[in-house]
A and B are shown apart, each in its own frame.
Chain A
Amino acid sequence: MSQPLLEVRDLSAGYRVYKGFLRVLDGVSLTVRRGEKIGLVGESGCGKTTTMRAILGVLPSNGRVTGGQVLFEGRDLRQASPRELQRLRGRKLTAIFQNPGAALNPVFTVGQQLDAVLRAHHPGMPARERRQRAIEALASVRLPDPERLLNNYPVQLSGGMKQRVCIALALLSDADLIIADEPGTALDVTIEDQVMRLFMRLVEERQSATIFITHSLGVVRQWMDRVYVMYAGSIVEAAPTQELFRNPLHPYTQALLKAVPKLTGGGIPKGIEGRVPDYAHPPAGCRFHPRCPFYSPDRCPARPALVDVGNDHLVACYQY
């Protein structure tokens, strides 16, 4: 089988804060093959964004990767020089963030920002061609009147339009892997739906791989090939989408699915007992055990490994 595009092996990372060190990521492993659409799902605070930043090498100044490897096309990004990383980022590996308002520079026009990306990645390209490419990029994300839009500042655009500009920016680089971190969060849900469809269509057309980070199970089920479920800094379950929804194995995945209100009725579900752990003092062993209905005092204190149960389905729980 061909080499995966991205392989994250046992990644650990955290943040230095006033009260100590927050051990957020506790050995995250995931694999992305070329053209694959991966959903990374988990609730707030589970470490999804930290994972993304650790992969890209853009953790904030108090963040540190403490272990593991990030292999992109076989090369460990943690060992790469800053120049190598610079060449990869924005070209082969690119990102779309949660808040388009923060991702776009408010003092430059849309045109200037698109142009900057084109100049960085295509140094020989003449200005006229860059402008043409910029207009095409905006048109590909179905933004009206792209020529005029080039002269607009981000503040003149609605949330949905700004996010489309960010998508256009990410696609300009024709990257092999696009990591999108909850791109719909800041948007009205019906606009989010439109933007999602657009993003997915463009990703398919270009056969880019994507890691799509979200807390919405519905979105994942509708669009992704494979799902990774994350809880408190580690992957607890991973499977092809259909397999995961038909046969959820990890107690956390099961609880998450039960907690979603159903279109078929059934009233408001119960929700999950307990709270997300304090990363300064996380539970020993399996981090979900304090909230788990299947808790076993002999088995759970040992951290469960991700086990392959067949059908490309991985789960980290003593029961398997």
Chain B
Amino acid sequence: MAVALLEVRHLKKYFHTAEGVVRAVDDVSFTLDAGRTLGLVGESGSGKTTTAYMIAGIHQPTSGEVLFEGRNLAGPRSRELRRQIQMVFQDPGTSLNPTHSIKDILTLPLRVHGLARGPQLEARARELIEHVHLPASFLYKYPRELSEGEKQAVAIARAIAVNPKLIVLDEPTASLDVSMQAWILRLLLELQQEFGFAYLLITHDLSLMRNFATDVAIMYLGRIVETAPADAFFTRPRHPYTQMLISSIPVVTDEEEALKPAQVVSQGEIPSPVNPPSGCRFHTRCPRRFEPCDREEPVMLELEPGHCAACHLYSGGQAAPSQRDNP
């Protein structure tokens, strides 16, 4: 069997704070192949951003492994490894250095990784700006002269400059208007088709997720509660939390409204990650909670090929692949 581009195994990240230990990521496992897009969705405090940051190398895991092309990414990464995984952040206003021209922003990573020198730098910068459908004249502008969408396109050009294999997209269109959002997303898809990038997409926008991700994983308080190919995830959500989130998406057409599961209103506040509920972490808000839920943690089970959920409602099924090698 071919080695997956990215494999995350039993990943954990605990932060030690004055209020106690925050279990931001608490045993997360998944794989991502080249050319595919995995969407990570969840509320604030779910751990999706921390997970992405561990993959991007911004945080070190507390335990568990991140394997890139079979190699463990633990510890300081080689420059070569850092080149392979790039990131696009939510707010292009703060991710682009305002004192650098666009040309400088694009050529810096090339110089850091020794990918071009002298006149090649300018030539490469021109290629990149063209890839993101912006005019060459933009190379001599500064970020403040560009619109939000144009800035984000520059951030994307910067990310692809070093020919990575995996790009982490952290809410790439959250600060953009509807038409800019469409433009950026199409650009990302086009680049993926041309260069074969794998994308790890973090977003709360489920309608976007539906049309952009090939697979989706939903997180709650540090754990993945359901994962499935995008189509199955939205047409046959199994976990009550997934159903709750999908039922509250604001949509714009009657057809979409009809697709949504019956409205499940969230009962109560999100519990604190310092003191997660016993048993299934979702039980305090779950409309379908029953006997085992507050004392026993549900195991991730494969309900259909590729579609897994961790919920007592489905016990009696086969254990999910990620759990079969459980120590």
Residues from chain B with Cβ under 8 Å of A190 in the complex: 43-44, 204
Question: Interface 1/0s, chain A 32-47, versus B by CB < 8 A?
Answer: 0000000000011000
Task: Name the contact of B256 in the complex, choosing from A194, A264, A271 (C-beta under 8 A).
Answer: A264
Min distance, Cβ B34 to any Cβ of chain A, angstroms: 20
Q: When A246-B254, A263-B249 are in contact, do A271 and B180 touch as well, CB less than 8 Å? A: yes
- Is A102 part of the contact surface with B, judged by Cβ < 8 Å? no
Binds A, one of B75-83, B206-214, B316-324: B206-214
Residues from chain B with Cβ under 8 Å of A255 in the complex: 179
With an 8 Å Cβ cutoff, the count of chain B residues facing the other chain is: 38
**A262 to B185 CA separation, bound complex (whole angstroms):** 14
Residues from chain B with Cβ under 8 Å of A263 in the complex: 206-207, 210, 234, 246, 249, 251, 256, 259-260
**A269 to B281 CA separation, bound complex (whole angstroms):** 37
Residues from chain A with Cβ under 8 Å of B204 in the complex: 188-190
- For window 168-223 of B, CB contacts with A under 8 Å fall at 174, 177-183, 185-186, 189, 204-208, 210-212
- Is B1 part of the contact surface with A, judged by Cβ < 8 Å? no
- For window 178-235 of A, CB contacts with B under 8 Å fall at 188-191, 193-194, 215-219, 221-222
**A127 to B186 CA separation, bound complex (whole angstroms):** 59
Q: When A216-B250, A218-B250 are in contact, do A268 and B211 touch as well, CB less than 8 Å? A: yes
Residues from chain B with Cβ under 8 Å of A221 in the complex: 250-252
Residues from chain B with Cβ under 8 Å of A261 in the complex: 182, 185, 205, 207-208, 210-212
**A25 to B129 CA separation, bound complex (whole angstroms):** 35
Task: Name the contact of A43 in the complex, choosing from B179, B185, B234, B255 (C-beta under 8 A).
Answer: B179
- Is A292 part of the contact surface with B, judged by Cβ < 8 Å? no
- Is B248 part of the contact surface with A, judged by Cβ < 8 Å? yes
In the complex, the number of residue pairs spanning A and B with C-beta atoms less than 8 Å apart equals: 103
Cβ-defined contact, A43 with B256, below 8 A: no
Cβ-defined contact, B208 with A43, below 8 A: no
Min distance, Cβ A214 to any Cβ of chain B, angstroms: 10
Cβ-defined contact, B179 with A265, below 8 A: no
Cβ-defined contact, B250 with A43, below 8 A: no
User: B-side binding surface: helix, strand, loop or mixed?
Assistant: helix
- For window 263-279 of A, CB contacts with B under 8 Å fall at 263-272, 275
- Is B253 part of the contact surface with A, judged by Cβ < 8 Å? yes
**A289 to B127 CA separation, bound complex (whole angstroms):** 33
Cβ-defined contact, B207 with A262, below 8 A: yes
**A124 to B246 CA separation, bound complex (whole angstroms):** 50
Task: Name the contact of A218 in the complex, choosing from B174, B177, B251, B254 (C-beta under 8 A).
Answer: B251
Residues from chain B with Cβ under 8 Å of A272 in the complex: 179
Question: Interface 1/0s, chain B 219-233, versus A by CB < 8 A?
Answer: 000000000000100
Residues from chain B with Cβ under 8 Å of A43 in the complex: 177-179
Residues from chain A with Cβ under 8 Å of B256 in the complex: 262-264
**A263 to B231 CA separation, bound complex (whole angstroms):** 10
Residues from chain B with Cβ under 8 Å of A271 in the complex: 178-183, 186
Chain A minimum-CB-distance residue to B203: A189
- Is A260 part of the contact surface with B, judged by Cβ < 8 Å? yes
Cβ-defined contact, B186 with A268, below 8 A: yes
Cβ-defined contact, A222 with B250, below 8 A: yes
Chain A minimum-CB-distance residue to B148: A44
**A265 to B260 CA separation, bound complex (whole angstroms):** 13
Chain B minimum-CB-distance residue to A42: B177
Min distance, Cβ A67 to any Cβ of chain B, angstroms: 28
Cβ-defined contact, B252 with A264, below 8 A: no
Chain A minimum-CB-distance residue to B204: A189
Question: Interface 1/0s, chain B 23-58, versus A by CB < 8 A?
Answer: 000000000000000000001100000000000000
Cβ-defined contact, A256 with B211, below 8 A: no
- Is A309 part of the contact surface with B, judged by Cβ < 8 Å? no
Chain A minimum-CB-distance residue to B44: A188
Question: Interface 1/0s, chain A 41-62, versus B by CB < 8 A?
Answer: 0011000000000000000000
Cβ-defined contact, A268 with B189, below 8 A: yes
Question: Interface 1/0s, chain B 241-268, versus A by CB < 8 A?
Answer: 0000010111111111001100000100
Cβ-defined contact, A189 with B179, below 8 A: no
Closest 8 pairs between A and B when the two form their complex, measured CB to CB: A218-B250, A271-B182, A190-B43, A272-B179, A263-B256, A189-B204, A43-B177, A271-B179
Residues of A within 8 A of B (CB): 43-44, 188-191, 193-194, 215-219, 221-222, 245-246, 255-257, 259-272, 275
Residues of B within 8 A of A (CB): 43-44, 147-148, 174, 177-183, 185-186, 189, 204-208, 210-212, 231, 234, 246, 248-256, 259-260, 266
Query: What are 19 A-B pairs at a CB distance below 8 A?
Result: A44-B177, A193-B248, A215-B177, A217-B252, A218-B252, A221-B251, A246-B254, A261-B185, A261-B210, A262-B211, A262-B255, A263-B249, A263-B260, A268-B185, A268-B211, A271-B179, A271-B180, A271-B186, A275-B147
